[in-house]
Chains A and B, each alone.
Chain A
């Protein structure tokens, strides 16, 4: 068993699960989507991106790309939320929450792709 591999896979998977946890629930219900969860998802997603940096293989490059997409989507969601609450003062309305959740839903897709790639890599590794 490779401890480094465990860490690597765990973070990629954790990025997906946290993301999923945030997106789950009614799309426009603020009670179903806690900011803390989005924060955790962003943090883990950023860490997952950094872990993938510097890998020169082709699959490493694609993994990095999916992670970057997830980061961009999640950060956009956080930005929208922050702008709505503090800059524009619109409050936690249904439309704001719907935008935030749909943006992180996009990130969810990228994270799924990331995990699928990870699985493919694991399967091709015959040891």
Chain B
């Protein structure tokens, strides 16, 4: 009998831990979503509490049943038995060791005997139950389920558009911080618990839902809001290219409309990503090499990049002027190759120093760049600049310091691998530091915050140095020496309802209408339109007189407090009327009706006000 009970007990415990067979059997009948989600915390608790509750109920039942059966004697000496009501009362306070004494009469020896049994039964039952609850709360699997569920709930409740950032390493943390400063919501998933803890400690003024989990797991991406209606895009920034590819392909399959931005450091990964339509693929090495050569070719265009992408109301970034001439590239790795390719394209002669003779290209100096001998052999005295591109920060700093001793006039470019070494690179007075995480964030930010800006910058690259210089001067005067705010507005019912409605009514709205002070129309707003995007047509630096068409996208730049004043006219019909006609129009149906009686003949607006009133009514 004991053996049978033990056998049953073991079986029962197994049932508690393993998923029940029924669930597998009924699985095909359930909607697929319920299979792929996390186990609900409540089910975990219930399943875990089954055994303790069974034991408690049994203990109570045995104690109460026995107590009722035990013969007792009341005060008058009559035989008496405790009833269920009092038995339950007695066992309740006895089991929880509160102990009010023997009620309603003093117990007989038989009742006391049974009470001894009951005490051990119920007290042990309670201890077991409480111990089980505490173990459950400490259980890592349970804790994980709770945090996962909290994360999923936090994401589900997001009401603002957000980006899902996968990977919170150096790059991810920089990006999230930059997004937060631009008031863009993000959601973070990373597999490293330490990084997630770092996020919790970061003072971001924003509640950023975060989860420590494997991003390769589709379920976690779903919890991160992959199919959330407010999710605008996914940024895959993990250290491993393969994981980034997995994230990108998951996103493209599960939500094809999503914007997917991916970090890729290998050429074949980039090709792979491009093959299934990843929206933007960022290779930090190529990006940096591209910008380095841009500063050589057209420094003003590069400066335009810097000004427009940096945060508003900051000091204007200084221009960079690397010299033209022979450059020395130390280490022909991924970074060195990228710089070499772009430099060669730009027609700049280069000398390569590479320690590994197998990897060194033709004409390269074989050796370590940290040694003066090698640098001399590479012709350091005749070179104008040096690129220290090894994957060791100590080596890069050593190259820079040695090179400077040999040729103080040298322009120094160094690759910084770890963000923790910021102070070292700063004190070493390196002219240009290539830091992977910064480059990636710098490239991604405009894509995320003002997508139109990326398009504008692409167009600007093909413009002349003179064009860029003039534009820079305009911006400098406009913003009085600080960085401008860049934003876009599209003429649609959501972002510019007043303008959109007016255009739909056939009124002609020109660009300058939007660029007037909404309180005083004679004052122009200090606002510079950079680009108008109309279907497939791009109008670079549009004229103020340009008539607007519905669904135009306008990119503007202005001092940082100007955007709100401008959107006033775009949103408010009365403000727009005032800006267009100079008349403060009465609002409300009655006043509008009266005004239409009084001023109908003299109205300078082409369409009659009565019609406008009707349209307004329709709109509301």
Is B58 in the interface zone, CB < 8 Å from A? yes
Is B100 in the interface zone, CB < 8 Å from A? no
Tally inter-chain residue pairs, CB-CB below 8 A: 73
- Neighbour of A57 across the interface among B26, B53, B58, CB < 8 A: B26
Residues of A within 8 A of B474 (CB): none
A51 touching B50 in the complex, CB below 8 Å, given contacts A4-B12, A7-B12, A82-B85: yes
A4 touching B15 in the complex, CB below 8 Å, given contacts A35-B83, A53-B46, A86-B83: yes
Chain-B contact segment, one of A23-31, A39-47, A100-108:
A39-47
Is B43 in the interface zone, CB < 8 Å from A? yes
**Are A39 and B64 in contact, with the CB atoms below 8 A?**
yes
A59 touching B26 in the complex, CB below 8 Å, given contacts A50-B53, A54-B43: yes
- Neighbour of A56 across the interface among B43, B64, B84, CB < 8 A: B43
Chain A min CB distance to B68 (Å): 7
The interface residues of chain B, by DSSP majority, are classed as helix
Residues of B within 8 A of A47 (CB): 54, 57-58, 61
Is B8 in the interface zone, CB < 8 Å from A? yes
- Distance of A91 Cα from B228 Cα, bound (Å): 63
The interface residues of chain A, by DSSP majority, are classed as helix
- Neighbour of A82 across the interface among B15, B49, B61, B84, CB < 8 A: B84
- Distance of A36 Cα from B61 Cα, bound (Å): 11
- Distance of A3 Cα from B43 Cα, bound (Å): 23
In this complex, how many residues of chain A approach chain B with their Cβ under 8 Å: the count is 26
Is B20 in the interface zone, CB < 8 Å from A? yes
**Are B50 and A7 in contact, with the CB atoms below 8 A?**
no
Is A120 in the interface zone, CB < 8 Å from B? no
Per-residue contact bits, chain B 92-104, to A (CB 8 Å; 1 contact, 0 not) = 0000000000000
- Distance of A54 Cα from B44 Cα, bound (Å): 7
Is B229 in the interface zone, CB < 8 Å from A? no
Residues of A within 8 A of B60 (CB): 43
Per-residue contact bits, chain A 69-94, to B (CB 8 Å; 1 contact, 0 not) = 00000000010001001100000000
Residues of A within 8 A of B61 (CB): 39-40, 43, 47
Name A125's closest neighbour in chain B (CB-CB). Answer: B25
- Neighbour of A7 across the interface among B8, B23, B64, B68, CB < 8 A: B8
- Segment 51-105 of B: residues with Cβ below 8 Å from A: 53-54, 57-58, 60-61, 64-65, 68, 83-86
Residues of A within 8 A of B50 (CB): 50-51, 53-54
**Are A56 and B83 in contact, with the CB atoms below 8 A?**
no
Contact sample, A vs B, 22 pairs, CB 8 Å cutoff: A4-B12, A7-B8, A7-B12, A35-B83, A39-B64, A40-B61, A40-B65, A47-B54, A47-B57, A47-B61, A50-B53, A53-B53, A54-B46, A55-B20, A55-B23, A56-B20, A57-B23, A58-B26, A58-B30, A60-B20, A82-B84, A86-B85
Closest A-B pairs by Cβ, 8 of them? A54-B47, A43-B61, A54-B46, A82-B85, A57-B26, A53-B46, A57-B22, A50-B53
Which A positions have Cβ atoms within 8 angstroms of B? 3-4, 7, 35-36, 39-40, 43, 46-47, 50-51, 53-60, 78, 82, 85-86, 121, 125
